Amino acid sequence: MSVISPRLENPHIYTDLGGLNDITRLGRENTAAGLKKVAEQFEALLLNMMLKSMRDSNAVFSEGNYLSSNEMDFHQQNYDNQLSLHLSESGGIGLADILYRQMLTQFGIEEEEQDKTPPSTLRLVEQTVAGKSAADIKSPEDFVRKLYHLAQGVAARIGLDPKVLLAQSALETGWGQKMIKHQRGENSHNLFGIKADERWGGDSVVVSTLEYRDGVARQEKARFRAYDSYAQSFDDYVNYLQTNPRYEEALRHASEPGMFARKLQEAGYATDPIYAEKIQRLMNGQTMQVALKRLGKNLL
């Protein structure tokens, strides 16, 4: 259920005049979103230069290749242009995000300009405890600190080690850095990649996701559940397992983390053929252990 962030419906490379016009239009409608696209385009330019440099270096050792031609070079350049833009919009090397944050600060622009409605007092308290957005989670240690007690509370309901929930949610969200987001960038708070089927009556978001079909990874569009907080995500996860008969076997082994993860995978929770192994690796890995050790009794 690994998720890839959604992009503009009609992405353009920076050399395309239509793409520049789209960014200009977007900047008028939503300044923050426009700045984000400018930052992505700048990173794409840098990545393209890096690709070109590597191509040029490789060309020195491939002189006389019968596949080399002006036409091949032309198509290769177009491919590199689109690849660099795709890499930038899919996370890139992090430069776009840094530039975007700096420009927001420099121009005094709020990241979410569309929603100016102040949340209720209850919502503010809930957001303070659970964390409102992926931007609030800055590191694996921060991920554990902000979510441990939420995981502990719901894990107790099914007799599960809270580290299993932390590991699974870390796998699904990249330690909180790759959260499923709405089109405008709002956090869905979906920690477990649960899809919105006909049984779901709440909010949802459609994004691209990586699925495995017959052992082959492919991108697909899917609708995922959206929550108001991380607390709701944890609560819905446990309810999801308890109300689905196919997960009965997994729940029977809740006291055995490794077996629980395997039974979860066998029941079809995810299409990744090594999903259970990844959960166990994260749960017992150094990143998790160091985060827990550093926080000690100061888990908040």
Active site residue 236: yes
DSSP class of residue 160 equals -
| Residue 249 among the catalytic residues | no
Q: What is the 3-state secondary structure (H, E, C) of 258-293?
A: HHHHHHHHHCCCCCCCCHHHHHHHHHHCHHHHHHHH
Q: Of 10-24, 106-120, 202-216, which one has max mean pLDDT?
A: 202-216
Give 180's pLDDT tier (boundaries 50, 70, 90). Answer: confident
Q: What is the pLDDT of residues 68-85, one digit of tens each?
A: 566 666 666 666 666 656
Query: Which of 88-92, 115-119, 293-297 is predicted most confidently?
Result: 293-297
Domains of the chain: 7-107 (no CATH), 121-298 (1.10.530.10)
Catalytic residue among 80, 172, 228, 236: 236
More confident site: 83 or 282: 282
- Residue pLDDT, tens place only, 1-29: 544 433 343 444 444 545 556 556 655 55
- Using DSSP, state whether 207 is helix, strand or coil: strand
- Dihedral sign of CA atoms 188, 113, 94, 20 in order: positive
pLDDT over threshold 70, residue 118: no
Please answer whether residues 209 and 4 qualify as being in contact, where contact means their C-beta atoms are separated by less than 8 angstroms: yes
Instruction: Say which of 142, 161, 186, 211 is annotated catalytic.
Output: 211
Tell me the average pLDDT of the chain.
75
Max CA distance (Å), the chain: 70
Closest-CA residue to 182 (of 218, 228, 234, 137): 228
